[in-house]
Amino acid sequence: MSIPTNPPVGRMPRIEFFMIRVTPAAFCDLLPLLFMAIHKLPPLLVSQIAAGEVIERPASVVKELVENSLDAGATHIEITIEQGGQGLIRIADNGHGISHDELSLAVAPHATSKLTSADQLASIATLGFRGEALASIASVSRLRLTSRPITDGRPAEAGAVIEASGPNVSTPAPVGCAPGTTIEVRDLFFNTPARRKFMRSPATEFGQISEIITRVAMVHPSVAFKLVHNQRTAIDLPADQSPRQRVVSLLGRDLDDALLEFESTQPNLDPDAAPITTWGLAGTPAIARATAKFQYFFVNSRPVRDRNLAHALKEAYRGLMPPDRQPLAVVVLRVDPAAVDVNVHPTKAEVRFRDPARIHGHLLSTVRQRLLGADLTPTATIKATPSPAGPPTRQSSPHTDTPPTPPRTPAISTRSQGQRDFVNYFKQRAHTQNGLDFDHVKQALAQTPPRDASQPHPLATAGSDQAGPITVRTPQHATTTLDADAHTTPQSPKPTPTLQASRAWPYPVLQVHDSYLITQDSQGLLIVDQHALHERVMFEQLRDRVLGAQDDSHTCLESQRLLTPAVVKASPKRIALLDQLKPLFERIGIEVDPIGPDALAVHAFPSFLFDRHVDPVNFLDDLFDLAEDDKFLSSTPDDDTTRTDAGDDDPYVEEAVLHKVLDMMACKAAVKAHDMLTPDEMASLLAQRDQIERASSCPHGRPTTIRLTLKDLEKQFKRT
């Protein structure tokens, strides 16, 4: 029966009936399915059902077998793949192997050497433990297992081989082989056509296998890995690498300089339990990615996916990169096995911590401290422009008999003879260019008069009741002074600031297009976005004042009462949010109350926002727009890595909410692009850059500074 979803106006919906005709013979065939008695499943079907959970694709087979090799103590593992794993998967290792008597048990379901009692499930220290991998694989493929055990460092005289395919299992037979274990899996899903048709192309399946090997090899730097696909080596990693060397070998050596190494140890609350140790590499914001694909988390050498860890990592980068970017990082956690449950996922890809909040806070603080202690200023890269003249021509020396090397003649000459003569004339001249006279520069700096300390600085501290005026010159060169009383006094036009040094910032500064500051440091040339840097400075000052307050019952930011309250139009939803937002308003110096069913009255407003001519009505409108977002008061991230264990009193949620509000305040109060600054203002802003944390990016994550190194400059001017 079907009913049209949009019937014509004025007409009743038409109801249609459908009838399925079933022949008596077919109905008789369906009766046993409708009234089937309870019975025990055959062993093969049980194994195939288990394989459906564990063996999803060829990469799943590789993962299970490589984990078995690592549990066997292997130091060299070679993986051979043909046709993306659909033709052949061979895993060969030099582990301690399987004895002749245990080969039949190895391919039996629920047989393992890693667990002996139920109590061990609460403290699993191995990668595998269920004893169903080999049996599940053998139920959907043609498996051949060859092993020669090693006992007390000495290999057995001979090895043994066993074959299994579906319900058929052969008897172990002696065979000559190298010490260790070799497992061959052919014709995967040959007896389950429905599963085989869902397999992707060989290239896609091999990509999944390569990703599995990358993650497993990354956390086992002492083990050699070799991955071969269709007789071509894709991965070849030597043994006994350092953790950093292994990561760089897998992710690319071009990322080495952009990976910040961190390490931390936190004692366990239980004195008998092992401490929490963390090691990893955090990529700088400059190499952030569009997705979280390049985030690698490991718990006790096990690759895992965990939203709690992903959230902690993203929180550590908050304010250092745009919200739509994801950090590149490798995080290796080692915790007491009893503090983590690894038996919560069919493929053991997820874990559950006994104290997730403690793990979250430990990782967040460790990564954040490492980022705050690093210079995150991105380096500008300039692609070298090839010379139109081609390679230089070698000239013969009058003192040698060696003939000159003939130059390569292009199809079309790019220089006339006159141009070449002009260039050669200057090449033959002596180098008479004068360098920089440092003594003269030092003398000029010493003669620069110091600024009078009694005068308020143009770039006043955010949130200070002693905030002095800030001079902003418009693009039309009309100067306007904004003081605390919000009076506007036009002054005479001033010329464009000249290049000069200041005692606040020891290097010359130049403002370009009234938006960017150009200066230098010991490493090269700095290009600074004045709005982004001032926004970061003000945000850090506001954050220190608000979070550094000892008494939360008092206003942390100075506020100024309005002679006439500002009226803000508000919907019932916004008025209902007011009670929830009032503690936040008090901390930032805003006093607001409802004065009717659709209006709010602003009685007090932060003083420094008044000084910057921020309109209270517009600010409250924007703040309520932000508060109406469902994520604003419930969770912190801007992506899907929301913490599932966060509560209303979670300190990370509270800090994230305050971060967003202070970010908006700093953005509105900071100097804007096209605001002309005086030399003292520019010098003061740059001096504060070295005094704050996370100065390399604004609170939104955009860079404040780009560095062009001396090495890059020398390349561009052909001085190398």
The CA dihedral of 378, 379, 385, 386, to the nearest 10 degrees, is -130
Chain mean pLDDT for the chain: 78
Q: What is the mean pLDDT of residues 338-362?
A: 85
pLDDT at res. 50: 60
**pLDDT digits 0-9 by tens, 642-668:** 444 444 455 556 777 888 888 888 888
pLDDT at res. 471: 42
Q: By CB neighbour count within 10 A (0-12 exposed, 13-18 middle, 19+ buried), where does 580 fall?
A: exposed
Other CB atoms closer than 10 Å to residue 285's CB: what's the count? 24
- CA-based torsion, 461, 465, 468, 474: positive or negative: positive
Q: What is the mean pLDDT of residues 335-344?
A: 86
* Dihedrals phi, psi of 423, to nearest 5 degrees: -70, -45
pLDDT at res. 184: 96
| Higher per-residue confidence, 135 vs 160 | 160
Residue 716 half-sphere exposure, CB side, CA atoms within 13 Å?
Answer: 10
| Higher per-residue confidence, 218 vs 140 | 218
Structure tokens at 435: 């360098």
pLDDT at res. 444: 54
Residue at token pair 């000069």:
500
**pLDDT digits 0-9 by tens, 425-436:** 445 544 444 444
Report the C-alpha gap between 510 and 474 in whole angstroms: 17
Report the C-alpha gap between 434 and 443 in whole angstroms: 18
**pLDDT digits 0-9 by tens, 238-274:** 999 999 999 999 998 989 999 999 999 998 777 777 8
* Dihedrals phi, psi of 595, to nearest 5 degrees: -125, 15
Q: What is the mean pLDDT of residues 152-165?
A: 91
The conformation of residue 131, written as its DSSP 8-state character, comes to S
pLDDT at res. 295: 95
pLDDT at res. 383: 60
pLDDT at res. 11: 57
Structure tokens at 701: 């994550």
The percent of residues in the chain predicted with pLDDT above 90, rounded, is 33
Whether residue 474 is predicted with pLDDT greater than 80 in this model: the reply is no
Residue at token pair 């300039």:
382
Shortest CA distance to 319 belongs to which of 55, 708, 698? Answer: 698
The conformation of residue 177, written as its DSSP 8-state character, comes to -
Question: Mapping DSSP to helix (H, G, I), strand (E, B) and coil, where does residue 157 land?
Answer: coil
Are β-strands 76-82 and 224-229 bridged in parallel, bridged antiparallel, or unpaired? parallel
Other CB atoms closer than 10 Å to residue 514's CB: what's the count? 18
Distances (CA, A) of 97 to 74, 329, 713: 9, 35, 59
pLDDT at res. 500: 41
The conformation of residue 254, written as its DSSP 8-state character, comes to G
pLDDT at res. 390: 46
Whether residue 286 is predicted with pLDDT greater than 80 in this model: the reply is yes
pLDDT at res. 467: 38
| pLDDT band, residue 469 (cuts 50/70/90) | very low
Q: What is the mean pLDDT of residues 551-565?
A: 74
Element (H, E) at 537: helix 530-547
Report the C-alpha gap between 230 and 584 in whole angstroms: 62
pLDDT at res. 653: 63
Distances (CA, A) of 207 to 81, 201, 213, 595: 11, 10, 10, 63
Residue at token pair 């994550």:
701
Which range among 121-125, 345-349, 411-415, 681-685 shows the weakest confidence by mean pLDDT? 411-415
Which range among 204-218, 497-511, 520-534, 694-708 shows the weakest confidence by mean pLDDT? 497-511
**pLDDT digits 0-9 by tens, 631-649:** 565 544 444 444 444 444 5
| Higher per-residue confidence, 17 vs 232 | 232
Which range among 23-32, 301-310, 505-514 shows the weakest confidence by mean pLDDT? 23-32
Structure tokens at 171: 């008897």
The percent of residues in the chain predicted with pLDDT above 70, rounded, is 71
**pLDDT digits 0-9 by tens, 593-640:** 998 888 999 999 998 888 888 889 988 888 888 887 655 655 444 444
Report the C-alpha gap between 62 and 209 in whole angstroms: 7
| pLDDT band, residue 10 (cuts 50/70/90) | low
Question: What's CA 252's distance to the chain center, in Å?
Answer: 16
Report the C-alpha gap between 587 and 593 in whole angstroms: 15
